[in-house]
Chains A and B, each alone.
Chain A
Amino acid sequence: MKGNQLILVLLCLFLTGCWDQHLMKNAVLIQILSFDLTPEKEILLGVSIPIIEESSGGPQAPVRSETFSATGQTPRNSRLKIDREISGILDSSKNKLILFGEKMAGVGIYQSLDVIWRDPRNSLGATLAVVEGKAVDLLNIKPRHEPNVSEYIQDALTSAEENSIIPNQTIQTLASEMLDLGEDIVLPHLTMNKRKSAVVVGLALMNEKKYAGNLPPQESTLLLLLNNKKGKYARFTKQVNKDLKPEINNYISFNVQDMKRKLKVYVKDGEVSVLLNLDLKINVDEYPKGDVPKEIERLNRVLSKDLTEDAKQVIDKLKEANCDAFGIGRRLIAFHPETWKAQDQKEYFKKIKFNTNVKVEIIKHGIVM
């Protein structure tokens, strides 16, 4: 019995884990990180931290956010400088979002992410995004209806994800695609509008690890569909009539209900061609002219043609940015390794011939005709 008591006391001493405790009261949680490149080629790191205010009677204390920034040679170096400025210890284990300024993204995003992969305490669930202009400016906006910038931007991204404007991805799922020679990534593209709120303006196309171009929202949705990464909704508005009055009658809005994508890579004499077929079953959301069933054949035809054209345009833009978002290179590595070895492994995407077809079929048109 005596022995057991001794062991118990010893256990209490040993098992407290006093070396590695991180007390919440000392921690300052980072919610957004932003990376920018200064003209002097230094890294400008911005962090957004939540500030919990005294509850004013209500059950929930309001949370607003505060932004700090500092420059340094590496992200860690900048972070140390911020750490000296604030009371408490910066803790990035709950970080949800990492923003890159355009300049930084143009140089490459991989290097500045190293610290996030290396430190076990960092969260790998964070998402990445590219911001037009300087990223740290976006942290300084004061949205009216949501005092916490982090919540606000995240909500904006989540809704864009649901609407298939941006794909759902985290820093860990991106790592493999970024390192893969035969595949490139696309990131959400954000901007700040005149009223100082953040807007998702489509996708930033990356060439390997560098920012190389962008796609506006409708085209980004089409790209996601072509890439078989549909979110909850995928909505388009298209012009299907000409010269009707009022103008609103010329347009149709629809949501993609169901889709099938077929992607096949062919190699002939070392030339790579891709067959990309997209079958969309759509649900008409809005057609002010009315009577969809009567025009269904024509609408199907016009929309198919229109979206096929758009798809071609999207692919041209991808080629221009040299962004292999479809991972054609990976398919070559996998199924045609000899062809892959003969290809220029940086510029191969530009030479691929695409044969793209989008077929649209209206299957539902709401509760009226």
Chain B
Amino acid sequence: MKQNRNKITNKQLVFYIIQAQIGVGILSLPHDVALVAKQDAWMSTLLAGVMSQVIIFGFWGLCKRFPSSSLYQILPKLLGRVIGKVVILCYALYFMITGSLVLARYSDIIDKWILPSTPNWITMLLILITCIYIVNEGLTSIARFYVLVSPILIVLIVLILNSMKDANLLYLFPIGDHSIQTIMKGSKEAAFSMLGFEVFLFIHPFVQSSGKEKLRAITTSNIFVTFFYTFMVFASLIFFEPIRDIALTPEPLLYMIKAYSFQILERTDLFFLSLWLVIVATSIANWLLLSAMGLASLVKKKNYASFLPLVAGINLVLAILTDQGRDFESFNHFLGPTHYIFIVIIPVLLLILSFVLSKKEVVSKV
């Protein structure tokens, strides 16, 4: 009974990863990518999706060798107790910092677009309380909640489609005018928004399905997210002049929606933002969960819930410290290489190590 409570199904895994991937970055993604790759930004986005798929295969390979251990359990097995614990701590801190950055970006947008005079710590505190509440209830509840809120993504697509009536397809041409290097550079920008699929490393033991099904699930979510993002970037590229206008607009999607009003609904961007809040909450909750899980496994506690307030508190402090828009740059700069280390290099090294040491979990009964 107790074990069943924390299991999720394969379908829930799909939505879980979609919600973890799509987060705060979605609003500014078209701007960030278009700054580098101009009208070819949509290719960069697709490319970022392909790259994350490659990483996903790596993840899956690692998880296949340890079907019932999360990364936090794999680490000490492969690296030994001491180094393993150090790396776990690093992971927990990394997730904490990423979560703080997401939180800071969220409050920055809320501050700019809706609540300019409300103190930022209030909006942060409110969303953190909500996230603690979501995460506190265990994986099954989190997954159920994520499935429940997924239709919001369709609403976002519809709202964007509505503004497509004033789009100009000519802005996309000439296609492929930029070199492969430029497009690659653009996909580096897009990659930050793709993050979130690493949650698979930590929750895969709780999914009730075979290895192949898991791979199919995570691939489905990655394909969905890639196309979702590519659509958003594509839409902004044909709506805004891709060299000068989009460079002036940090949140192109909001602008697109703001320009239209319906018969009974004006300032559609406010409506959009309130839906977007939920999307952000799901990704903040995700990072909260990962970080708390890491801390819990550090002290060998089964239940991570008691660490949630601590993690959230650190998140809040870090986010308030970097609240000024200018700090994001340096924050991002610092986080850039760390993403590669924690998402790409360490898991791949672990995979190689597990082959070299030929360490593998003995499958007793699944």
Contacts from A to B (Cβ < 8 Å): 14-15, 17, 19-20, 93-94, 117, 120, 123-125, 170-173, 175-177, 179-180, 327, 330-331, 333-335, 337
Task: Kindly state whether residue B173 has any CB partner on chain A within 8 Å.
Answer: yes
B255 touching A124, Cβ below 8 Å:
yes
- Distance A94 CA – B166 CA, assembled complex (angstroms): 21
Q: Is the interface of B mostly helix, strand, loop or mixed?
A: loop
20 further contact pairs, Cβ within 8 A, besides A125-B261, A337-B174: A15-B126, A19-B118, A20-B114, A117-B248, A120-B258, A120-B269, A123-B267, A124-B258, A125-B266, A172-B256, A175-B240, A176-B168, A176-B245, A180-B245, A327-B168, A330-B168, A330-B170, A330-B171, A335-B173, A335-B174
Would you give the shortest CB distance from B341 to chain A, in whole angstroms? Answer: 37
B241 touches A176 (CB 8 A): yes
Q: Chain A contacts of B328 at CB under 8 A?
A: none
| B168 / chain A contacts, CB cutoff of 8 Å | 176, 327, 330
A124-B255, A125-B259 as given contacts; A20 in contact with B115, CB under 8 Å: yes
- Whether B173 contacts A334 by the Cβ 8 Å rule is yes
Asked if B313 is at the interface of the complex by the 8 Å CB criterion, the answer is no
| A331 neighbours in B (Cβ, 8 Å) | 170
Contact A19 B117 (CB under 8 A): yes
A337 B170 Cβ-Cβ under 8 A: no
| Residues of A with C-beta under 8 A to B261 | 123, 125
Interface size on B, residues (CB 8 A): 33
Check B326 for interface membership: any CB of A closer than 8 A: no
B259 touches A17 (CB 8 A): no
Q: Which residue of B lies closest to A330 (CB)?
A: B170
- List A contacts of B114 (CB < 8 A): 20, 120
Q: Are A172 and B259 in contact (CB under 8 A)?
A: yes
Residues on B with beta carbons closer than 8 Å to the beta carbon of A17:
115, 118
* B interface with A by C-beta (< 8 Å): 112-119, 122, 126, 166, 168, 170-174, 177, 239-241, 244-245, 248, 255-256, 258-261, 266-267, 269
Q: Give A94 to B173 CA distance when docked, in angstroms.
A: 36
By the criterion CB–CB under 8 Å, are A19 and B115 in contact?
Answer: yes
Bound CA–CA A173/B261 (angstroms): 13
B255: chain A residues at CB < 8 Å are: 124, 172
Question: In the complex, A319 Cα to B117 Cα: how many Å?
Answer: 49
Tell me the minimal C-beta distance from A312 to chain B in angstroms. 25
Q: How far, in angstroms, from A17 to B114 measured CA to CA in the complex?
A: 11
Contact B244 A172 (CB under 8 A): no
Task: Say yes or no: A14 contacts B126, CB within 8 Å.
Answer: yes
Residues of chain A within 8 A of B122, CB atoms compared: 14, 19
Q: Which residue of A lies closest to B246 (CB)?
A: A176
Q: Considering the chains assembled together, what is the distance between the CA atoms of A95 and B91 in angstroms?
A: 50
How near does chain B come to A209, taking the closest CB pair, in angstroms? 12
Of A20, A120, A170, chain B has the most CB atoms within 10 Å of the CB of: A120
Given the known interface contacts A125-B261, A170-B259, A175-B245, the answer about A20 and B177 at a Cβ–Cβ threshold of 8 Å is no
Of residues A124, A170, A330, A337, which shows the largest number of chain B Cβ atoms within 10 Å of its Cβ?
A124
Nearest CB on B from A141, distance (A): 27
Beta-carbon contact of A179 and B241 below 8 Å: yes
Min CB distance A115 to B, Å, is: 14
11 A-B pairs with C-beta separation under 8 A: A19-B118, A20-B116, A93-B267, A120-B114, A124-B258, A172-B259, A180-B241, A327-B168, A327-B170, A333-B173, A334-B174
CA distance A123 to B269 in the complex (A): 11
Please measure, in the bound complex, the distance between the C-alpha atom of A48 and the C-alpha atom of B122, giving whole angstroms.
37
Query: Does A124 contact B170, Cβ atoms closer than 8 Å?
Result: no
Query: When chains A and B are docked, how far (Å) is the Cα of A19 from the Cα of B241?
Result: 36
Q: Are B173 and A20 in contact (CB under 8 A)?
A: no
User: Given A125-B260, A173-B166: A20 and B245 within 8 A (CB)?
Assistant: no
